[in-house]
Structure 1
Amino acid sequence: MMKGGDWAFGCQLVDGALGALNTPPAHMPIRVFTPQVLAPTGAKLSKSLLREQDKGALPADVEPWMLDTTVWPGSIDNYVDSLVWMVSELLTDPKHFFRSFTVKELGRLMTQRPPEPVVRAHEMGIYKRYFDLIAAGRKTTEIRVNDSSRRKIKEGSLIRFRCQGDEVLTRVTRVTRYDTFDEMFDHEEVASVNPLATRDEQLANIRQIYPPEREALGVVALGIELVDPPSF
């Protein structure tokens, strides 16, 4: 459940209803509360009421893009970069994330992003044994199926690998695509994918992760190099 901070007290009602339905405690929803947005008067900004009254009823300081992101005065990438930057700024001190913010302050924050572009990294989860090899600089080729998200990766892209709370940032040095894992290992150095396993062992492990219908999408071999040292 992702709600504004004013919903914190409403959790009691939700928990009571779920308890009445005999919902196991482990199945109770995880809650994420975001800062509450306030109108210039200090009251909670009601987006639904404003939409009903049309844009002509917008109070002072409420920019049209706050109700309709398609009218943001810039590109979609620019909007996403500004939003990510603002959230990152708030999280530099966690107490900011539990405060309420007026629309005027949010508007100011959204336009305070430094002019240099924010470079977004592709996020990838990975098993611990492979994560450790990447962090140590011993695994320099990452293998994935060529699904829609991998097709967006190109030479120079950043990939942030995550595992059990740890992360490591890498840069893509090359992108090579193959039809099958067998063809891939005919051309890729086995040790660069996993220096601790033979070709046959790696094929067996990879096919435990990716069933035939996933391999049918094709295979992509990503050359990677460390950008920043691991933060752990």
Structure 2
Amino acid sequence: MSTTSARVIELNLYPQYFDLVAAGRKTREVRVKYPKFDGLTAGDLIRFAVKGTDRTCLTRVTRVAEYTSFEELLDAEGPSQVNPDASLQEQLANIRRIYPPEKEQLGCLAIGIELVD
């Protein structure tokens, strides 16, 4: 049995995406492979928040997969896991508004999540 405890990271989400996570409908979080995600693994915890509010929810990481592009990520993971209310093309446009091409080149992470509370 491991004596290490799960890492907890805090991440902000836009309200529309937070609502999907809090309802258990969004099971993949999409992020750019920033150094703060190095070593993120199943069992770690992510506390999502809506910036400037007291709205938070705790999730457990179920898996982490790396892709070279957001298109590859959505094709492999399935767009309904990332946002069940938007088409593949809508999601690509929305993600690329958040992360410009130079960020996408860092690598793309699909983080499997499940609600804890």
Does 2:26 correspond to 1:135? no
Query: Aligned residue for 1:181?
Result: 70
Q: Which runs of 5+ in 2 are unaligned?
A: none
2:44 corresponds, among 157, 170, 174, to: 157
Cα drift, residue 152 of structure 1: 2.8
8 Å CA contact 2:34, 2:106 repeated in 1:
yes
Residue 177 of structure 1 aligns to a residue whose secondary structure is strand
Instruction: Please name the residue that 1:122 is paired with.
Output: 9
> Stretches of 4+ moved more than 3 A in 1?
116-120
Instruction: Tell me by how many angstroms 1:219 deviates.
Output: 0.3
SS at match of 1:153: coil
Q: Structure 1-normalised TM-score?
A: 0.47
Which structure shows the bigger proportion of residues in helix conformation? 1
| Among 172, 181, 205, the residue aligned to 2:94 | 205
Which residue in 2 is equivalent to 1:194? 83
Computing the radius of gyration from Cα coordinates, the structure with the larger value is: 1
Q: Percent identity?
A: 52
Q: Which gives a bigger RCO, structure 1 or 2 (Cα 8 Å, sep 6+)?
A: 2
Contact 2:59–2:116 (Cα < 8 Å) also in 1: yes
Query: Normalised by the size of structure 2, how large is the TM-score?
Result: 0.91
2:115 aligned residue: 226
Looking at structure 1, the residues matched to 71 and 40 of structure 2 have their Cα atoms a distance apart, in angstroms, of 22
Q: Secondary structure at the match of 1:134?
A: helix
Give a deviation string over 1:111-169, Cα, whole Å, max 9, x none: xxxxx987551100010000000000000000000110112311111000011221000
